[in-house]
Structure 1
Amino acid sequence: MKKLLSTLCTTALLFSAVVGCSSSQDTSNANPQQGGASGSKSESDYKPEPSNIILASGPIGGGWYASAAAISEVLMREIPGLNVTVTEGGGVANIKDVSSGAAQIGYTFSDTFNDAVNGNGDFNGSAADNISGLSTLYQSFYQVIALEDNSKFQTLGDLKNGANILPGKKTFSGQVFTSNLLEKYYGTTYQQIEENGGKISLTGYSEMTDLLKDGHADVAMAMTDAPSSFIMELNAMKKVRFLEVDPETAKKVEESNPGYVAAQLPANTYDGQTEPVNTIGSYTVMMLSNDIPAELAERIAKAIVENKDELAQSQPSLSFVDKSTLKDGFKGAPVHPGVEAYLQ
Structure 2
Amino acid sequence: MWRLEGRSRRFRCFRIRVAWRARSSPKKGEEKMRGKRPVVMALCLLFTLAIAAWAASAEAPKKVTFVAGTVGGSWYNSAALMAQLLMKDIPGLNVTATSGISLGNIRLIDAGVDAQLGWTYLDLLFKALDGQEPFKQKHSKACVVIPGFLGSPYFVATKKSGIKDWGDMKDKRILTPPLAGSNELIARGILELYGITYKSIRAAGGSVNHIEFSQGVDLLKDNRADAIMVPGQPYSPVPLVLDLENTVGITFPTIRMDVLEKFCKQARGYIPYPLPAGLYKSLEKPVMNVAGITIIITNRDLPEDFIYQVTKAIYNNRKRLQELDKAYTYIDKENLTRGIPDELFHPGALKFIKEVQGK
Give the CA deviation at 1:270: 1.7
Q: Which has the larger radius of gyration?
A: 2
Give the CA deviation at 1:143: 1.9
The answer on whether the counterparts of 1:168 and 1:221 sit within 8 Å (CA) in structure 2 is: no
What corresponds to 1:188 in structure 2? 196
CA distance in 1, matches of 2:87, 2:277: 37
Give the CA deviation at 1:265: 2.1
2:67 to 48, 51, 54: 54
Q: Are the structure 2 counterparts of residues 293 and 189 from structure 1 closer, same or farther at C-alpha, using a change threshold of 3 Å?
A: farther
1:279 to 289, 292, 301: 289
Q: Are the structure 2 counterparts of residues 175 and 106 from structure 1 closer, same or farther at C-alpha, using a change threshold of 3 Å?
A: farther
CA distance in 2, matches of 1:94, 1:171: 18
TM-superposition CA deviations, 1:95-117 (whole Å, max 9, x none) = 56655778654444444544543
CA distance in 2, matches of 1:70, 1:246: 39
What corresponds to 1:200 in structure 2? 209
**Equivalent position amino acid for 1:234 in 2:** L
2:238 maps to 1:225: no
What corresponds to 1:74 in structure 2? 85
Give the CA deviation at 1:134: 1.2
Identity of matched residues, %? 24
1:145 to 139, 156, 167: 156
Alignment of 1:120-269 (within 5 A): 127-148=138-159, 151=161, 153-161=163-171, 163-167=173-177, 170-172=180-182, 174-183=183-192, 185-190=193-198, 193=201, 198-201=207-210, 203=212, 206-207=214-215, 212=220, 218-222=226-230, 224-229=232-237, 231=238, 233-239=239-245, 240-256=250-266, 259-269=269-279
TM-score between both structures, scaled by the size of structure 1? 0.65
2:94 is paired with a residue whose SS is coil
Q: Are the structure 2 counterparts of residues 336 and 67 from structure 1 closer, same or farther at C-alpha, using a change threshold of 3 Å?
A: same
Q: Are the structure 2 counterparts of residues 264 and 81 from structure 1 closer, same or farther at C-alpha, using a change threshold of 3 Å?
A: closer
CA distance in 2, matches of 1:295, 1:211: 54
Gaps spanning 5+ residues in structure 2: where? 1-54
The answer on whether the counterparts of 2:153 and 2:291 sit within 8 Å (CA) in structure 1 is: yes
CA distance in 2, matches of 1:59, 1:145: 28
Q: Which moved more, 1:127-136 or 1:66-75?
A: 66-75
Give the CA deviation at 1:304: 0.7
Q: How many residues align?
A: 290
Higher relative contact order (CA 8 A, sep 6+): 1
CA distance in 1, matches of 2:162, 2:66: 47
1:157 is paired with a residue whose SS is helix
Q: CA RMSD in A?
A: 4.2
CA distance in 1, matches of 2:259, 2:268: 15
Q: Are the structure 2 counterparts of residues 193 and 115 from structure 1 closer, same or farther at C-alpha, using a change threshold of 3 Å?
A: farther
